[in-house]
Amino acid sequence: MGKIKEVIKRNGAVVPFNPLRISNAIYRAAVAVGGRDKKTAEALADKVVEALEQMEFENGNPHIEEIQDVVEKVLIENGHATVAKEYILYREEANRRRATDQKYSTKEDNNIPWAKLWHVLNWAVKNDLHTIESLNKKIKNGEFAEVVHISEKAYEHNIDTAAKLISERHDALKMVMVSGPSSSGKTTTTIRLEEKLKGEGFKFVPLVVDNYYFDLELHPKDEFGDYDFETPQALDLELINEHLLALSEGKEVKIPYYDFKAGKRTLNATPMQLKEGEILLIDSLFGLYPKFSEAIADNIKFKLYLEPLLQMKTSEGRYIRWTDIRLIRRMLRDSVQRAYNPQQTLEHWHYVRSSEMRNLIPYNSTADYIINTNMPYEIALYRPLLLDSFLKWREEFKGNPLKEDAYERAERCASFLSEVEGVEDDSPVPKNSVLREFIGGSIYEY
């Protein structure tokens, strides 16, 4: 065992020291600049630990900032300046996010699609669905089915608008990219959009981006030591660009195949070529990430961004967070489709969120159109499904410095779900609803 046993977090909490987090952080920075040498990352992490153990600390334990200072120093001193730069940039971005993540901040957030949000809020106020109190009144008055109907109609209007915009560029388009953060409803929306446009004579060819993942052993890991599929660097971005460009020029390519059970990729597995009039349809978390399609001219691609832009206030006058809606959606989906414990989803969510905030959400302004995938009624269905769990997690994680983020999310979700009038009967929800992607019962296969 080493000399260092504990670390002081930024909020003053003391947690166990885990050297694995250092090697993971170094490897992630290396991957971001094209490197994939885990042994070197581990060796550099060992040097960081050695340097730390030779230092004296004011409170007996190193502060997280002191550890990061040593990481930067070791990287530079050992000839890894490019990796050090990426590590420093990531560290600065994280510090900026923490500085601006204030409950009562009045500073404008450039990550928020304000123009779209105004339309969503206007719709919510017009239909008296802008507060939990107003939603509860409708449910108590037996109007749940009506709320479902008008919510689904608003989503359908978004689909229609996107289809119209794509149709207007039909002659030049070679690819349509559907992007959005985790559990924003990309799969259902992609299917619904394809159905709409096929009726207008469009011919789509799906490109499964998952086949471009690197072998599992080359993936970066998150701070829990789990392989991270939530970062664009887990994908072979260079090969994606090469294939997208060739396909847009009418050339044949050979798509790789990724075996998730084995964690291995087979190159040159499936021949693919676009015929006259065919358009690539790409459903990807990272469709807006600049390096995902940097080789492709903007005029031949149409980029959609999805987000459940709920505009509903609690009794305290605070808006329910979109990330909390997506967290709940993913809990439900993962528990059914992936046999993943909802508590695991909660405990890992802050890492998912961190990747989104760095690699996806800042680019939503580059989308050609934004679709709101929220259904104001969905929180009523979530109460009987997850409220008791959130209440339990809130108590379990309270005061645990290692579960601070999970506690805060459990607290928020427990709070607003406690206010909602719960609905157990989901039969009014259409079988092709985007919500069926998460609560089950869809006519589509996922």
pLDDT exceeds cutoff 60 at 122 = yes
Grade residue 106 by pLDDT with cuts at 50, 70 and 90. Answer: very low
Q: What is the pLDDT of residues 157-184, one digit of tens each?
A: 999 999 999 999 988 999 999 999 999 9
CA atoms in the 13 A half-sphere facing the CB of 324: 25
DSSP codes of every residue in 293-312: STTS-GGGEEEEEEE-----
Mean local confidence (pLDDT), 421-439? 97
320 contacts: CB under 8 Å, gap ≥ 6: 132, 310, 312, 313, 314, 379, 416
- Residue that the structure tokens 């959609």 belong to: 304
**What was the pLDDT predicted at 29?**
85
Grade residue 103 by pLDDT with cuts at 50, 70 and 90. Answer: very low
CA 296 to chain centroid, in Å, comes to 23
Mean pLDDT of the chain: 90
Q: Which domains does the chain have, with CATH numbers?
A: 6-99 (no CATH), 114-439 (3.40.50.300)
**What was the pLDDT predicted at 354?**
84
Count the neighbouring beta carbons within 10 Å of the beta carbon of residue 274.
Answer: 20
Residue in 208, 209, 175, 176 with CA at minimum distance from that of residue 193: 176
Q: Tell me the C-alpha distance between 341 and 345, whole Å.
A: 7
Element (H, E) at 205: strand 203-207
**What was the pLDDT predicted at 86?**
84
pLDDT exceeds cutoff 50 at 418 = yes
pLDDT exceeds cutoff 70 at 259 = yes
pLDDT exceeds cutoff 70 at 97 = no
Residue in 203, 209, 171 with CA at minimum distance from that of residue 187: 209
Q: What is the pLDDT of residues 14-40, one digit of tens each?
A: 888 888 888 888 888 888 888 888 889
CA atoms in the 13 A half-sphere facing the CB of 377: 32
Q: Strand, coil or helix: what is 278?
A: strand
Backbone angles phi, psi at 166, to 5 degrees: -70, -40
Q: Tell me the C-alpha distance between 356 and 181, whole Å.
A: 6
Mean local confidence (pLDDT), 43-47? 90
Count the neighbouring beta carbons within 10 Å of the beta carbon of residue 184.
Answer: 29
Q: Tell me the C-alpha distance between 306 and 320, whole Å.
A: 17
Grade residue 337 by pLDDT with cuts at 50, 70 and 90. Answer: low
Grade residue 339 by pLDDT with cuts at 50, 70 and 90. Answer: low
pLDDT exceeds cutoff 70 at 303 = yes
Q: Tell me the C-alpha distance between 344 and 346, whole Å.
A: 5
Q: Tell me the C-alpha distance between 163 and 151, whole Å.
A: 19
Q: Strand, coil or helix: what is 159?
A: helix
Grade residue 324 by pLDDT with cuts at 50, 70 and 90. Answer: very high
Mean local confidence (pLDDT), 143-148? 98
Range in 88-92, 149-153, 205-209 the model is least confident about: 88-92
pLDDT exceeds cutoff 80 at 243 = yes
**What was the pLDDT predicted at 105?**
46
**What was the pLDDT predicted at 108?**
53
57-66, 234-243, 331-340, 353-362: which has the highest mean pLDDT? Answer: 234-243
Mean local confidence (pLDDT), 275-283? 93
